[in-house]
Homo-oligomer: A and B are copies of this chain.
Amino acid sequence: MSIDRIRHAGLREKVMSAGQAAEFVKDGMMLAVTGFTGAGYPKALPTAIANKAKAAHAKGDKFSIGMVTGASTAPECDGVLAEANAVHFRSPFQSDPTLRNGINAGNVVYQDMHLSHVEQQMRQGFYGEFDIAIIEAAGITEDGKIIFAMGIGHGVEAVKNAKKVIIEINAALSEGLEGMHDIYGDVGLPPHRKPIPIVGAFDRIGTPALECDADKILGIVLTNAGDRNSKFAEPDDVSKRIAAQVIDFLDHEVKAGRLPKSLLPLQSGVGNVANAVMAGLLDAPFEDLTGYTEVLQDGMLDLILAKKMKTASATALSFSPDALARFNENIEFLKDKIILRPMEISNNPELIRRLGVIGMNSMIEADIYGNVNSTHVMGTRMMNGIGGSGDFTRNGFFSFYVSPSTAKGGAISAIVPMVSHHDHTEHDVMFIVTEQGMADLRGKSPRQRAKLIIENCSHPDYRDMLRDYYDRAEVASKKAGGIHTPHLLLEALSWHQRFIETGDMRIK
């Protein structure tokens, strides 16, 4: 029974229906809502708010909210609210098809933001005070502390910052989650900040549950519903070849004495390819791996279960249905091997730099100079957002970007003359990996990188086109006064335009 999860007697009296709780949410409010990559988001209240919005709109009344989450949520949260036209502002990350359409139609103001900036900006006060925090929890302790769900994200700051709090207690969550969280609430604001005392990726520095003034809690809603739990694609040949390149390179660095045999803490971005790299590590010649990531997916879970990875730190657990079952079955074994932190800690520049995290993220496209686009399709259409990729790329020890060399059956090249949107610059990206090969960009000029990326990473169908672009760009840029980074300014983005017009980047 969900109610048993509320071990504080007084707080049991705050239980109410989602509809009742939604009454507290008024037009124009700013909400801080938990949720991170399909985990830890409220399951019932968003639908109740969406219904309220629809009813208001039917009467000709205005109703919409601003919403800052940890990262992406799910159809039952972002989806239902977007479908009801109930969101006017959204930050920092999303991946819901309906919300995405609203953003790309210009109906939702979307601030696509580095995750490590979110709690700091909330605390700084720039957004103003949040009206209500809506958070998912696995339970409430005897002394009224919140036990977070499958993720924390910005939940700690949400509870502290918001004037009021509504909690959803989800009985579908394993009770074994208790003790996995590490709530550290003292990052604060400058000029009063101290070092964050993490020196090993698995250091525990806080408490397992979050204190919250009972007076702040407007209501508690009981749910019993699974997280999004999308299925991952089985690693295909392309993904396996990408994974093999990454692993070969890391093995080379270990053999050269430049990396320990346990590597350095690994971050793995969201998606099938990143997940495949983790799967590839199962058979790799490394031992006692550690994770320091934002989302812990199937691949990393299996590394831990196989005792290939010792411990992992994340801000959220995002599993396929099968992996969730493995997680729940093995939770006693996993309890002292997985730690869940606020995303201000999981993505913190200080810690990513100190720990020397190896960042591995997917991309939409890279250009021949090593700039990476993580967010926009054909330059103008938002896909999901930058998420934490910039946090890890900018401050990590190594930064990998991985992608199949083509998409849409070959009609799109992941290696282009110039990316149509820049999320990670040539200064930040160290390694580009496709199934074709890998380019180590370190210590190289843009012109050297171009040769490497074209010859090693691009698909053979596009290689001659890229060589042709580069050769002509060099001639034109010489005339224009500098060939540090050769480009044809009017042609640099023409591949994307061709795709828009013909459905294919290749010249027919």
> Which residues in A have some Cβ–Cβ distance to B below 8 Å?
89, 91, 103-106, 109-114, 120-121, 124-127, 189-191, 193-197, 199-200, 256-258, 260, 262, 264-265, 348-350, 352-356, 371, 376-382, 386, 390, 394-395, 397, 420-428, 442-445, 447-448, 473-474, 477-478, 480-487, 489-490, 492-494, 496-497, 500
Closest to A474 in B: B106
Q: How far is the CB of A491 from chain B (nearest CB, A)?
A: 8
Hey, which chain B residues are within 8 Å of A111, CB to CB? 443-445
- Give the oligomeric copy count: 2
Closest to A90 in B: B445
Q: How far is the CB of A339 from chain B (nearest CB, A)?
A: 16
Taking A106-B478, A487-B493 as given, write out 8 further A-B residue pairs in contact, using a Cβ cutoff of 8 Å, ordered by the A residue number. Answer: A104-B481, A109-B444, A109-B445, A191-B262, A348-B353, A380-B485, A489-B500, A490-B490
Cα–Cα distance between A320 and B439 once the two chains are bound (Å): 43
Hey, which chain B residues are within 8 Å of A420, CB to CB? 487, 489
Given that A379-B489, A380-B487, A444-B109 are known contacts, is A199 also in contact with B195, CB under 8 Å in the complex?
A: yes
Hey, which chain B residues are within 8 Å of A265, CB to CB? 191
Q: Are A378 and B106 within 8 A (Cβ)? A: no
Closest to A125 in B: B258
The residue in A256, A353, A428, A474 that gathers the most chain B C-beta atoms within 10 A of its C-beta is A353
Given that A264-B191, A442-B126 are known contacts, is A494 also in contact with B489, CB under 8 Å in the complex?
A: yes
Closest to A92 in B: B427
Q: Are A496 and B489 within 8 A (Cβ)? A: yes
Q: Are A485 and B195 within 8 A (Cβ)? A: no
A-B contact pairs, 12 of them (CB 8 A): A103-B482, A104-B484, A112-B426, A121-B442, A190-B356, A191-B260, A191-B264, A191-B265, A350-B353, A380-B473, A380-B487, A381-B482
Closest to A485 in B: B380
**Looking at chain A's contact residues, is the secondary structure mostly helix, strand, loop, or mixed?**
loop
Q: Are A195 and B494 within 8 A (Cβ)? A: no
Top 7 nearest A-B pairs (CB, nearest first) are: A190-B356, A381-B482, A195-B195, A104-B482, A422-B422, A382-B484, A380-B477
Closest to A497 in B: B489
Cα–Cα distance between A474 and B397 once the two chains are bound (Å): 39
Hey, which chain B residues are within 8 Å of A113, CB to CB? 427
Closest to A381 in B: B482
Q: Which residue of B121, B196, B423, B489 contacts A425 across the interface (Cβ within 8 Å)?
A: B423
Hey, which chain B residues are within 8 Å of A257, CB to CB? 125
Q: Are A189 and B482 within 8 A (Cβ)? A: no
Q: Are A481 and B195 within 8 A (Cβ)? A: no
Cα–Cα distance between A111 and B193 once the two chains are bound (Å): 34
Q: How far is the CB of A356 from chain B (nearest CB, A)?
A: 3
Closest to A385 in B: B427
Hey, which chain B residues are within 8 Å of A193, CB to CB? 199, 354-356
Q: Are B354 and A350 within 8 A (Cβ)? A: yes
Hey, which chain B residues are within 8 Å of A424, CB to CB? 425
Q: Are B114 and A443 within 8 A (Cβ)? A: no
Hey, which chain B residues are within 8 Å of A354, CB to CB? 190, 193-195, 350
Hey, which chain B residues are within 8 Å of A478, CB to CB? 105-106
Cα–Cα distance between A173 and B90 once the two chains are bound (Å): 55
Given that A382-B484, A444-B111, A485-B421 are known contacts, is A356 also in contact with B191, CB under 8 Å in the complex?
A: yes
Given that A258-B126, A477-B380 are known contacts, is A489 also in contact with B483, CB under 8 Å in the complex?
A: no
Q: How far is the CB of A498 from chain B (nearest CB, A)?
A: 9
Cα–Cα distance between A473 and B106 once the two chains are bound (Å): 13
Q: Are A497 and B493 within 8 A (Cβ)? A: no
Q: Are A380 and B427 within 8 A (Cβ)? A: no
Q: Are A106 and B489 within 8 A (Cβ)? A: no
Q: How far is the CB of A443 from chain B (nearest CB, A)?
A: 6
Hey, which chain B residues are within 8 Å of A493, CB to CB? 487, 489-490, 492-493
Q: Which residue of B89, B124, B349, B386 contacts A350 across the interface (Cβ within 8 Å)?
A: B349
Q: Are A427 and B371 within 8 A (Cβ)? A: no
Q: Are A377 and B445 within 8 A (Cβ)? A: no
Q: How far is the CB of A457 from chain B (nearest CB, A)?
A: 19
Closest to A442 in B: B126
Hey, which chain B residues are within 8 Å of A377, CB to CB? 481-482
Hey, which chain B residues are within 8 Å of A126, CB to CB? 258, 442-443
Given that A422-B422, A445-B109 are known contacts, is A480 also in contact with B494, CB under 8 Å in the complex?
A: no
Given that A379-B489, A397-B190, A443-B91 are known contacts, is A427 also in contact with B112, CB under 8 Å in the complex?
A: yes
